[in-house]
């Protein structure tokens, strides 16, 4: 069973910042959200893009013509694939072999992770929780292409390899971050789920997506972690709410009216003790970030809370089972705008918690 956590509207962040200094980014996180620090992705570095960061370790990865892809037609593909699954089985049977394996972040891709570990050694009091993240299996497998430019999601074997790769990476993060004795949260970041049901994903079934998500959630739970799913736009929320995650993070600023359409599933989700992470602080448009204040956001989230309460959820229960987050990561913003979002998230959380 995952650990019990009572967020009580604490602030929580998504993962990315517009900076080029990992220790400085970690210090910024501790300035604004010290209760739940996380490791930061800095997309200014190409190797920290959502797909690129988790691609090392996958079988048959090649770089050609400035592109990185999986060469499923190459002469070494079968042997590379066999070696991958042999490594997977060996590590799965002895998880003490995870450190240094192909399933971890590398020295190049994991600089934000290393900065968080260093930060955790410097703080005297353990935080409420600590957070990591993996790119979700749909987003990853749509983003990774084969030699013909086809997404590996449509290759059953490579999709299976990718899900297992991400699952072991999540387990390694939890094992590594659990040293402070506080709960570890791992978010599964799935922006591609915004396309579910569209022409791009028309041939992908809900059952297939659920199976991929549930394998990651199960891996996180097996290691004693809390699993979150983050989708920064609209999607089929029944799919996300039914995936077995402990936390669902949604864009409450722009898409609450779509989210609330799944009222019965939301009620069941909260009744089971699961948590909502409200992406109520805007990140998409400069004018929205600049015009919103703590007062305006407070009024907005109170109105949204009442809509959830109308489903039969008590106000105290709802607030106890909620986090306050930005609507998405901040990596594409200017640093000044990112700091404004961080301050709004921190201060809105404090405003809500004053009444708890």
Q: Would the pLDDT of 3 be above 90? A: no
The Cα-based distances of 32 to 11, 234, 325, 345 in angstroms read: 9, 28, 12, 8
Round the average pLDDT of the chain to a whole number and report it.
Answer: 95
The CATH classification number of 22-354 equals 3.20.20
**Contact, 140 vs 166, CB < 8 A?**
yes
| Mean pLDDT (whole number) for 105-129 | 95
Q: Would the pLDDT of 196 be above 80? A: no
**Contact, 218 vs 164, CB < 8 A?**
no
| Mean pLDDT (whole number) for 178-207 | 83
DSSP category for residue 165? H
Percentage of residues in the chain having pLDDT higher than 90: 91
The pLDDT, as a whole number, for residue 203 is 73
Q: Would the pLDDT of 6 be above 80? A: yes
Q: In the numeric block, which tokens belong to residue 227?
A: 């699993």
Would you give the distance in Å from CA 245 to the centre of its chain? 11
**Contact, 324 vs 12, CB < 8 A?**
yes
Tell the residue number behind the tokens 């220790």, with chain if given.
23
Pairwise CA distance, residues 265 & 260, whole Å = 9
**Contact, 262 vs 236, CB < 8 A?**
no
Q: Would the pLDDT of 66 be above 60? A: yes
Pairwise CA distance, residues 127 & 87, whole Å = 34
Give the other-Cβ count within 10 Å of 291's Cβ. Answer: 10
Sequence-distant (≥ 6) Cβ neighbours of residue 309 within 8 angstroms = 315, 318
pTM of the model: 0.96
Pairwise CA distance, residues 73 & 272, whole Å = 47
Confidence of residue 204 (pLDDT cuts 50, 70, 90): confident
Confidence of residue 201 (pLDDT cuts 50, 70, 90): low
| Mean pLDDT (whole number) for 67-84 | 96
The Cα-based distances of 135 to 28, 113, 129, 203, 267 in angstroms read: 23, 14, 20, 21, 27
Q: Would the pLDDT of 142 be above 60? A: yes
For residue range 211-261, what is the model confidence (pLDDT) as tens digits?
A: 999 999 999 999 999 999 999 889 999 999 999 999 999 999 999 999 999
Q: Would the pLDDT of 200 be above 70? A: no
DSSP category for residue 16? B
The Cα-based distances of 320 to 4, 149, 253 in angstroms read: 12, 46, 20
Pure H helices in the chain: 22-32, 77-93, 111-122, 137-143, 156-177, 206-222, 237-241, 256-259, 263-271, 286-291, 294-309, 315-320, 335-354
Burial of 26 (0-12, 13-18, 19+ CB in 10 A): buried
Q: Which of 201, 168, 188, 220 is nearest to 58 (CA)?
A: 168
For residue range 276-317, what is the model confidence (pLDDT) as tens digits?
A: 999 999 999 999 999 999 999 999 999 999 999 999 999 999
Would you give the distance in Å from CA 165 to the centre of its chain? 16
**Contact, 34 vs 127, CB < 8 A?**
yes
């Amino acid at each position: 069973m995952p650990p019990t956590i009572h967020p009580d509207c604490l602030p929580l962040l998504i993962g990315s910042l517009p900076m080029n200094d990992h220790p400085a980014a970690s210090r910024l996180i501790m300035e604004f959200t010290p209760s739940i620090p996380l490791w930061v992705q800095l997309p200014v570095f190409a190797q920290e893009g959502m797909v690129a960061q988790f691609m090392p370790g996958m079988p048959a990865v090649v770089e050609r013509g400035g592109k990185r892809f999986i060469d499923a037609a190459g002469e070494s593909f079968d042997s590379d694939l066999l070696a991958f699954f042999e490594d997977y089985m060996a590590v799965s049977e002895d998880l003490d072999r995870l450190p240094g394996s192909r399933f971890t972040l590398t020295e190049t891709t994991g600089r934000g992770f290393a900065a968080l570990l260093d930060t955790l050694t410097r703080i005297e009091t353990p935080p409420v929780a600590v957070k990591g993240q993996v790119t979700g299996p749909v987003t990853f497998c749509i983003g990774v292409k084969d030699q013909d430019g086809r997404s590996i999601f449509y290759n059953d074997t490579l999709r299976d390899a990718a899900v297992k790769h991400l699952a072991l990476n999540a387990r390694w993060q939890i094992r590594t971050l659990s040293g402070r004795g506080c709960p570890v949260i791992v978010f599964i970041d799935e922006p591609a789920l915004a396309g579910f049901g569209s022409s791009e994903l028309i041939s992908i079934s809900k059952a297939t997506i659920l199976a991929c998500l549930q394998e990651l959630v199960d891996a996180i739970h097996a290691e004693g972690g809390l699993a979150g799913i983050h989708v920064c736009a609209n999607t089929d929320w029944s799919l996300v709410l039914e995936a077995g995650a402990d936390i669902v993070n949604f864009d409450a600023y722009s898409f609450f009216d779509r989210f609330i359409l799944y009222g019965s599933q939301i009620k069941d989700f909260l009744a089971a003790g699961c948590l909502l992470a409200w992406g109520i602080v805007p990140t998409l448009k400069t004018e929205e970030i600049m015009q919103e204040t703590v007062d305006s956001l407070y009024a907005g989230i109170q109105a949204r809370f009442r809509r959830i309460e109308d489903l039969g959820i008590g106000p105290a229960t709802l607030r106890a089972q909620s986090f306050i987050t930005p609507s998405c990561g901040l990596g594409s913003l200017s640093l000044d705008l990112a700091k404004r979002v961080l301050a709004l998230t921190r201060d809105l959380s404090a405003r809500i918690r004053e009444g708890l």
